[in-house]
Structure 1
Amino acid sequence: MNIYRLDTIGRILSDLPNNVFTRHNFKASQQRSKALVDLAQESILLYPYKSVPAQWRQLLMDASILQAITMLGLFQHSSTLLELQLRDGDQDIKQRIARETINVLDTAMIISGAPGPQRRETVLASIDTLQAYLSSLPSSSSSSHRLRDGFIHLPAPHTVHTTHPVNRLDKVPSFLAFVQLLQNGQPFIIPQGAIEHWPARDKWPSLSYFVSVAGDRVVPVELGSKYTDSAWQQKMMRVEDFLREHVVLQEEGGDDGSGQTAYLAQHDLFYQIPKLADDISVPDYCYCEPELNENYKEAPVDVIQNAWFGPQGTVSPLHHDPYHNVLAQVVGSKYIRLYAPSETHCLYPYEGIMSNTSQVDVEHPDFDSFPLLKEAQFVDCTLQAGELLYMPPKWWHYVRSLETSFSVSFWF
């Protein structure tokens, strides 16, 4: 089966002479393209992410596409395949190369943003074809059957006792009613009904859906209880591995051996995987164009969408963001506590680049070290699946998942 014939990279390959991908040429091409990738990645690390010169991002993207071309060429030349030695004798070589190719392209797209004409379209078409091929392969492991046939385990909805509840609206507001509520500068919850039309409400509880659409896609996963911990790190992982090791095992009471909580947090998953973007839509509320003020000094060019997906116990420590935020709870529930900007003096922000993050653990407070925290006024809530939480700019918020949870934030 010619699995790449439909994509742009495949068309490039089909025009090459049959003898291009000899073992020698393959190794040489791999080494050269990998050297370019390494050079681009090392150069990017020399800059703050927002200040990376465009040429290094462009080089990373183009060198990664070149590397993918040399890898996909193996599918066209079985004699070369037979010459290569497997690193894992039990793994099919085509499956391994397909996964490695997705890894190369996904990593480049995440780091570089896929600059350049037709680069993103080329990469996405190639990855979609490879993912379809991999999803069609049979799986023998019991954990894979659980992923391919099962659903996220969602017990009876969890509720945390709240002493200062966030205002919960009686019904889904109209656009104009939302704009009026915005003027109050207070958070509020929009009840179920605003996103019931999203396909995600039916699809995302299904583990098999994620495996079929994105099982071999590579995403940045945070490892550690929260990003303020010294042991916190970020790792690129296949979606299926993330589900197996950090969602299914935890739901079944197991342990992956790492003892670490894993969280796919604040990632524009929908730019990376457009098929998942088709499952949601930006709420109309996010186009209301609020007036600028001291807490909202600049609007983003477009609505910023981020995915938040992880097992029970994932935490976003107390922090604030510069934009208006509508947080849509699609699967599971979360406990959220909020403090107004006027309470900042009681919340002990870090200094420097993390000044938007508090040092305090609001659910396990150390009043000896942070005595003013006792005086801080807050509101809190349990956000259930199907509900939206509006948070004004610069409002501090702490978030903890009460079970396996998938949320989408919309900054505007």
Structure 2
Amino acid sequence: MSCLWDEVLAVLPPRLEDLRLEFSRTVDKSLVFLLRQIVELLYEGQDIVKCLQLSQTIIDFSWEKLNIGTWREVGKEWRRVYSHGCLFKAVCLCKEKTAVREAIETCDMGLLMGATILDNILIRLVKVLQNHKTTMKRPLEDAASHQEPSRKKPSVVPMIQEIRTAMAVPRVRCPSLEHFRAQYLIPQKPVILEGIVDHWPAVRDCKWSVDYIRDIAGCRTVPVELGSRYTDEQWSQTLMTVDEFIEKYILDQEEPNPIGYLAQHQLFEQIPELRQDIDIPDYCCLGAGDEDEITINAWFGPMGTISPLHQDPQHNFLTQVSKGTTSADVANIQQHCKGQFMVVGQKYIRLYSPEQTAKLHPHPTQLLHNTSQVDVENPDLVNFPEFELADFQECTLRPAEVLFIPVKYWHYVRSLDISFSVSFWWT
């Protein structure tokens, strides 16, 4: 573990005076004093226990500041203070062999709730810690290796949604930029693009299985949405590790089981190893914004998760990457489905043009004004009779396919299987 400690210290600036703690007047001078005291304790190799206590004090105080009012009202300075507290706590924890997992969790909290500091030092620290994660086995991993798995859901052929030919979204394979711009972008028409992400390691090498996700990010803490759709009264959000999410919401076959969905835009910043497996589609260059203005979102969840009918203020390339199978699932599929053509990791999607908005009955509240009140596949035609008259298109999006959803286009999504999707929002 001394080797880990040396590697952790090497992540910090080489000299005490290089670690500058400069904040605006919004941050109490007493907190800045505590931060400087922590830095001195770290660099001079003094009382680590006291250093850890002071770091927790910084975290607790700044956490209160982060939770006053709405998130957009939180000052960036307090997010920077919180990140510094998480950094120093994580470094102190690395003195203890048994606390490495907690150190990673602390870094993740700084990445999720704080602001970027010291040239993304939290990302670099996590990378060092994960190189030592072989000492951190997943819960019950030893026991599971000596018995047959009992909690994995049986592999099943996903339900195929029958698509009506007259309403089907058109498909085109590797169109030129000019063709895509003229035929779909300018007239604002949805289309499924085939073959444009075949070169992604996530697609080409079939990397994104449950096994791979757990290996890369199992011990990382991420936000998880609980509930089949965000309009449900029971819908909520929580933080848990990727391992906990997969165990409880992907592999656990106990019923009834509330649906958990990993959906966030920070995942690829938080876990850059996953970002290396994908690329921004070339067609985004046709937009007015720069590449660094493109928002990349991750969507990972079980069969049955639903995105209610809604619209977004930007264009969207929704990419279905793969089914999140374990190696055991794949072997089971191959054993029982020989000779059959199987498509896995699918999503059913229905689209309505902005011209149909009045028939879709958006919520009257400002918070949900971009979301329809209608349950698309079980509509209440008594209260929403015009919905039946709305024209729509539909498709089943399969692995390695990309759906172009024009800005303000209404779309409803239902997962037909365990799946991992990536969306690119661009203007």
Q: Same-fold call, TM > 0.5? A: yes
Number of residue pairs matched? Answer: 369
| 1:121-153, Cα deviation, whole Å (9 max, x unpaired) | x21122122223223555313289999xxx998
**Structure 1 residues 228-247: aligned runs within 5 Å:** 228-247=231-250
Matched-pair contact (CA < 8 Å) for 2:66–2:79: yes
> SS of the residue aligned with 1:316?
strand
**Structure 1 residues 13-412: aligned runs within 5 Å:** 16=43, 20-21=47-48, 26=49, 28-75=50-97, 94=98, 97-112=99-114, 114-118=115-119, 120=120, 122-137=121-136, 139-142=141-144, 156=157, 158-163=159-164, 164-180=166-182, 181-191=184-194, 193-201=195-203, 202-249=205-252, 254-255=253-254, 259-289=257-287, 302-331=293-322, 332-350=345-363, 351-412=365-426
| 1:307-346, Cα deviation, whole Å (9 max, x unpaired) | 0001111111111100011111101110011111111111
Q: Tell me, which stretches of 5 or more residues in structure 2 are unaligned?
A: 14-38, 323-344
Residue 190 (structure 1) shift: 1.0
Take 1:9 and 1:40, find their aligned partners in 2: how far apart are those partners?
Answer: 26
| 1:270-322, Cα deviation, whole Å (9 max, x unpaired) | 111111000000010111125xxxxxxx8896111000001111111111100
| 1:43-85, Cα deviation, whole Å (9 max, x unpaired) | 222243333211111111111112212222334xxxxxxxxxx
Matched-pair contact (CA < 8 Å) for 1:157–1:384: no
Take 1:227 and 1:42, find their aligned partners in 2: how far apart are those partners?
Answer: 27
Matched-pair contact (CA < 8 Å) for 1:8–1:125: no
Matched-pair contact (CA < 8 Å) for 2:172–2:191: no
The letter for the 1-side match of 2:294 is V
Take 2:403 and 2:133, find their aligned partners in 1: how far apart are those partners?
Answer: 38
> SS of the residue aligned with 2:293?
coil
Take 2:227 and 2:145, find their aligned partners in 1: how far apart are those partners?
Answer: 23
Task: Label 1:19 to 1:111 Cα distance change in 2 as closer, same or farther (>3 A).
Answer: closer
Take 2:348 and 2:5, find their aligned partners in 1: how far apart are those partners?
Answer: 45
Residue 19 (structure 1) shift: 5.0
Task: Label 1:203 to 1:129 Cα distance change in 2 as closer, same or farther (>3 A).
Answer: farther
> SS of the residue aligned with 1:228?
coil
| 1:82-127, Cα deviation, whole Å (9 max, x unpaired) | xxxxxxxxxxxx1xx1121111111121122x32332x2x211221
Task: Label 1:9 to 1:107 Cα distance change in 2 as closer, same or farther (>3 A).
Answer: farther
Residue 6 of structure 2: aligned partner: 5
Matched-pair contact (CA < 8 Å) for 1:4–1:130: no
Same amino acid, percent of matched pairs: 36
Task: Label 1:288 to 1:51 Cα distance change in 2 as closer, same or farther (>3 A).
Answer: farther
Residue 78 of structure 1: aligned partner: none
Take 2:207 and 2:233, find their aligned partners in 1: how far apart are those partners?
Answer: 32
The letter for the 1-side match of 2:378 is H
Task: Label 1:301 to 1:9 Cα distance change in 2 as closer, same or farther (>3 A).
Answer: same
Task: Label 1:213 to 1:115 Cα distance change in 2 as closer, same or farther (>3 A).
Answer: same
> SS of the residue aligned with 2:273?
helix
Take 2:398 and 2:146, find their aligned partners in 1: how far apart are those partners?
Answer: 29
Residue 20 of structure 2: aligned partner: none
Take 1:172 and 1:69, find their aligned partners in 2: how far apart are those partners?
Answer: 48
Task: Label 1:401 to 1:131 Cα distance change in 2 as closer, same or farther (>3 A).
Answer: same
The letter for the 2-side match of 1:66 is F
Matched-pair contact (CA < 8 Å) for 1:286–1:411: no
Task: Label 1:10 to 1:299 Cα distance change in 2 as closer, same or farther (>3 A).
Answer: closer
> SS of the residue aligned with 1:196?
coil
**Could you tell which deviates more after superposition, 173-182 or 310-319?**
173-182
Q: When the two structures are superposed, what TM-score results if normalisation uses the length of structure 2?
A: 0.79
Q: When the two structures are superposed, what TM-score results if normalisation uses the length of structure 1?
A: 0.82
Please report the RMSD computed on the Cα atoms of aligned residues, expressed in angstroms.
Answer: 2.8
Task: Label 1:34 to 1:382 Cα distance change in 2 as closer, same or farther (>3 A).
Answer: same
> SS of the residue aligned with 2:386?
helix
Matched-pair contact (CA < 8 Å) for 1:166–1:189: no
> SS of the residue aligned with 1:354?
coil
Residue 80 of structure 1: aligned partner: none
Task: Label 1:362 to 1:380 Cα distance change in 2 as closer, same or farther (>3 A).
Answer: same
